[in-house]
């Protein structure tokens, strides 16, 4: 498939915001990035949508590759498209969310994630990209 256009294109990505409830409160699953940009910072599992896959499949693929989670029911939340949200290129991300039972899941970092674990939403490390903005908006919805 080859095309030539007279205008630039943007990249399409997906991110999975995975929550787990505990006695201490709400937790979110984050991965530690193995590569630039934001190497060693924490982020949501996610990545680029391949040219030959649909968005819903891409988010499940990325979640599996980066966290070893496969049986999570995900819902689309929103689209984030700030012009400068990714320093590599113009990127638009479709955000999904879901819940897991953190004590029963086997979370294991893989692919371009060097670590993966749950963090309390009120005690987070510095997040990559615009993920702190996304998290703030999505927490308002899931805590209702």
Q: Region 27-39: what's the mean pLDDT?
A: 96
Q: What phi and psi values does residue 96 have, to the nearest 5 degrees?
A: -120, 160
Length of the chain: 144
pLDDT at 1: 56
48 vs 94: CA distance, rounded Å: 10
**Inside any domain, residue 82:** yes
pLDDT at 5: 79
**Inside any domain, residue 27:** yes
**Contact partners, residue 50, CB within 8 Å, separation at least 6:** 58
Tens-digit pLDDT profile for residues 59-116: 999 999 999 999 999 999 999 999 999 999 999 999 999 999 877 888 999 988 999 9
* Bridge partners of residue 80, in order along the sequence: 93
Question: Is 2's pLDDT higher than 80?
Answer: no
**Inside any domain, residue 38:** yes
**Inside any domain, residue 54:** yes
State how beta strands 25-33 and 113-120 pair. antiparallel
64 vs 136: CA distance, rounded Å: 24
Count of the separate structural domains present in the chain? 1
pTM of the model: 0.93
**Inside any domain, residue 6:** no
Nearest alpha-carbon partner for 45 in 83, 14, 11: 14
- Element spanning 7, H or E: none
| Residue 125 domain boundaries | 11-142
**Inside any domain, residue 2:** no
Q: 57: which DSSP letter?
A: H
């Amino acid at each position: 498939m080859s095309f030539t256009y007279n205008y630039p294109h943007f990249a399409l990505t997906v991110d999975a915001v995975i929550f787990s409830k505990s006695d201490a409160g709400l937790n979110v699953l984050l991965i530690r990035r193995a590569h630039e940009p934001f190497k060693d910072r924490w982020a949501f599992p996610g990545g680029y949508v391949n040219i030959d896959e649909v968005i819903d499949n891409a988010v499940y693929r990325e979640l599996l590759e980066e966290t070893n989670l496969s049986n999570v029911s995900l819902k689309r939340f929103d689209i984030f498209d700030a012009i400068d949200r990714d320093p590599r290129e113009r990127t638009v991300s479709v955000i999904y969310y879901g819940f897991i039972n953190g004590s029963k899941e086997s979370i294991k970092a893989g692919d371009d994630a060097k670590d993966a674990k749950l963090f309390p939403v009120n005690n987070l490390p510095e997040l990559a990209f615009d993920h702190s903005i996304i998290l703030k908006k999505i927490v308002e919805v899931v805590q209702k």
